[in-house]
Structures are given as structure tokens and as C-alpha cells.
Amino acid sequence: MGEWDGPGHQTGAVAPPIFQTSLFTKPSFEEFTRQQAAEHENYVYSRGTNPTVAFLEERLALLEGGEAAKCFGSGMGAISAVLAGLLRSGDHVLFVNNVYGPTLELAEYLRRFGIEHTVLAEATADIEDHLRDDTALIYVESPGTLRMKVLDVPALTRVARRRGIRTVMDNTWSTPLFQKPLASGVDIVVHSLTKYIGGHSDVVGGAAIGSREVIREVFYNGHQLFGSVMSAQEASLVLRGLRTLPLRMEEHQRNARRVVDHLAQRPEVQAVHHPHADHRPDEEIVRSQFTGFSGLLSFELGDATFERVAAFVDGLSLFRIGTSWGGYESLVTAPLRPGTEAELRSRGIAPGTVRLSVGLEGAERQIEDLEGAFAKL
């Protein structure tokens, strides 16, 4: 992670200090005016920059291979700052591949400000057919976090660059350890730090990473004016998470591979969705773009009714029922609500879909818990 080299480093403290201060005073008025004029690179006020948060931003930029990063109070804080900060009335956005629900709700909300969008739920090759003269941004997830389909990211960014369209990718599922979108030509990477990077289910946060120029634009428009700020306390929790990220991701991966292999053998399971699962039509892309896989996956229960999905979910005990993912504890949720089978099918989602966040308790216990729930069906 690199040692703290900011103020106070002479003390030899091994953990980055938490700068619990809302503002930073200056020795002269002239110095104050100089620093305030470039608030993105000076400590003036903690809604803008703070040393603990800045240390985390440097680490995240390094991990993603970007020039700069900005942290936010949540993943949605980062996503809304990027969209609202970079777009203007009359712009069009193309969303590709099962994008996170609240991101699409935000896109819907932005219509009232004259920002239009199209959603391409499938990871198709014909992106170009869906671009318009006013398309200003392409926003993607790969894999999408429900059906786990992946995109040919370099092919997509080649088209976007040729047309002068910026690209944004939500890389929360992979973390920067397993996929590096900026190296594939993506302009801005966004993260929910709430998931694997925080890693302990005790902090909500987000980040945007890219070139110095684009992050500066996001800072002045999206961050300063919307005010979704990450506190120094939260930054220190995320920094603590970063220290064990490689170890945790290896273990999530190991456990998830075993859970995927196990689910694939169960007669009640019609399909397993995870980049590790066999016989994927997009195997080639998976091999070329990922250096590892995280522990979030989904599978399809056959003969699905709400009662059957509920019976399975309630039959688990180690996997606890809840939204979010990426922490120590294994979690389970499902998209089905009573009476929504047809609506889900129309969106290409099997009604029996169950989503698991495979945590760190160990594959033996996780598989035993799944077996128990299958037995109760």
C-alpha cells in the first residue's frame, strides 16, 4: 500500500493519521487566496480535499493505473457526480449490459434535465447501431452483477474513441486487482468502495478514477457542487481494507470457484452465472480481460415460484439475507418479488435467479449451508 509520507510521518506511525478537521488555516491571506484558487490540489476545506482521503485517492489511482482519483460518500455519489458533472442538457448516454439498478434510475431522473439515454441490456457486438450524433457517454459494467455477462471492452472503447465519445465503467465486481479498464481504453472507472475494497461491511464509499483532466472536471462540477463527501474516518477504514485486499480476493475467488462447481452439479440448478462457470459463449473475452474472479455469482433454480425461491433463501443460515456484497459474511438475495415472473423474464432474467455473495467463512461451510437449503426444498 505504501507508507504514509504526509504530515507527521516522522513519528513512525504505521497507520495513516485521520485528519479529523473540517478546514485548514493558512499563514497569510495571500497564501489562502492562492490555495483556494486550486482547491483540488490544496487542503482548504474538507468538503474538497483532506489528507487522509487524498492518501486513499492516490492508492486507488495507482491500483487502477490512472493519473488521479476522487473519493465520494458512496458509490452512487461517485456515479451521480460523473454523470451530472460531465453531461449537459441535450446529451445522450448509452448504457450497456445489465447496469446497476439505481444507476439506471438516476439516468431516468436526468431526463428532466434534458439528458436522454438508451439501455442495451445485452452485451451485443453492434454498439455502433445504438450510438447517436448526440451520444456523449457510454456507460458499462462488465460483468453485470446479476447475470454476469461480460463485454469486449477494448472493442467497445475503440468505437467510442473513434467517435469522440467518453466511456465510463463500473469496476466494482472485479476490483482493480482482477481487471484494469483504463488499460483497455476506458476513460473513467467508478467503484463502490462499500463492497470488496472496503471489504468489512462497515463503510459506504465510492470513487472515480481517470486522467488528471477528467477527474478535475468531476471534482469541480460533480464533487464540489453536489457534496457527496467521504470523511477522513471512512477513508481510514477503506485504507485498512486495501491492506488485505489481495489476500481477501484470493480467498473469495477460491471459495466461489468451489461453490460454482458444486452448484453446477445440483439437479435443481438450471444455470450458474459466474465468469468461472464452464461453457460460456464469452469464454474467450473472459480469458483475455480478467486476471481473477470475485465471489459474487448467481444461479437459476428450476420450477421457480416466489414460494420456492423464498423457501431456498430462508433455508440458508450461513448465507444471510441482505443486499450489498463483498464483505466477510456470505449473503443471499434474489430479484423475484411476488407476481413479477413475467416482468423479470421480459428483462432476460430467469425468475428463479438467486444471487450469492460468497464470503470468507470457507467453501466447506458454504457448500454445507447450500446443501441444507436444497434439502429443504
Ligand X SMILES: *Cc1c(COP(=O)(O)O)cnc(C)c1O
* Other Cβ atoms closer than 10 A to 317: 9
Q: Give dist(CA 67, CA 214) in Å, integer.
A: 10
Q: Give dist(CA 189, CA 251) in Å, integer.
A: 24
**Nearer residue to ligand X within complex by CB, 138 or 269:** 138
> Using CB under 6 A as the criterion, which residues of the chain lie in contact with ligand X when the complex forms?
74-76, 100, 145, 170, 172, 192, 194-195, 204, 206
Q: How far is the CB of 281 from ligand X (least distance, A)?
A: 22
Q: Which residue is nearest to ligand X (CB)?
A: 75
**Nearer residue to ligand X within complex by CB, 192 or 253:** 192
Q: How far is the CB of 76 from ligand X (least distance, A)?
A: 4
Q: Give dist(CA 150, CA 152) in Å, integer.
A: 7
Q: How far is the CB of 43 from ligand X (least distance, A)?
A: 25
Instruction: Tell me which of 152, 170, 187, 369 is the catalytic residue.
Output: 170
Q: Give dist(CA 281, CA 290) in Å, integer.
A: 16
Q: How far is the CB of 74 from ligand X (least distance, A)?
A: 3
Residue 195 annotated among the catalytic residues of the structure = yes
Residue 47 annotated among the catalytic residues of the structure = yes
- State the DSSP H helix or E strand holding residue 264, giving kind and residue range, or none if neither: helix 232-265
Three-class SS state of 191: strand
Instruction: Tell me which of 149, 195, 248, 257 is the catalytic residue.
Output: 195
Residue 337 annotated among the catalytic residues of the structure = no
Task: Give the Cα-Cα-Cα angle 163, 141, 236 (nearest 5 degrees).
Answer: 115
Q: Which residue has the cell 472536471?
A: 217
Instruction: Tell me which of 26, 47, 266, 280 is the catalytic residue.
Output: 47
**Nearer residue to ligand X within complex by CB, 195 or 257:** 195
Question: By the 8 A CB rule, do 355 and 146 touch?
Answer: yes
**Amino acid making up residue 231:** S
Q: How far is the CB of 315 from ligand X (least distance, A)?
A: 25
Q: How far is the CB of 273 from ligand X (least distance, A)?
A: 15
**Nearer residue to ligand X within complex by CB, 192 or 333:** 192
Cα separations in angstroms, 192 against 101, 113, 170, 213, 261: 13, 25, 8, 22, 28
Task: Give the Cα-Cα-Cα angle 27, 32, 35 (nearest 5 degrees).
Answer: 120
**Nearer residue to ligand X within complex by CB, 191 or 257:** 191
Question: By the 8 A CB rule, do 212 and 41 touch?
Answer: no
**Nearer residue to ligand X within complex by CB, 72 or 319:** 72
Q: How far is the CB of 102 from ligand X (least distance, A)?
A: 6
**Nearer residue to ligand X within complex by CB, 192 or 330:** 192
Extended strands (E) in the chain: 68-72, 92-96, 116-120, 135-141, 166-170, 188-192, 206-210, 269-273, 296-301, 320-321, 331-333, 353-357
Phi-psi region of 313 (alpha: psi -120 to 50; beta: other; left: phi over 0): alpha
- As a whole number of Å, the end-to-end CA separation of the chain is 46
Residue 45 annotated among the catalytic residues of the structure = no
On the question of a cis peptide bond just before residue 7, with omega within 30 degrees of 0, the verdict is: no
| H helix intervals, 87-199 | 101-110, 153-162, 175-178
Indicate which residues carry an active-site annotation.
47, 100, 170, 195
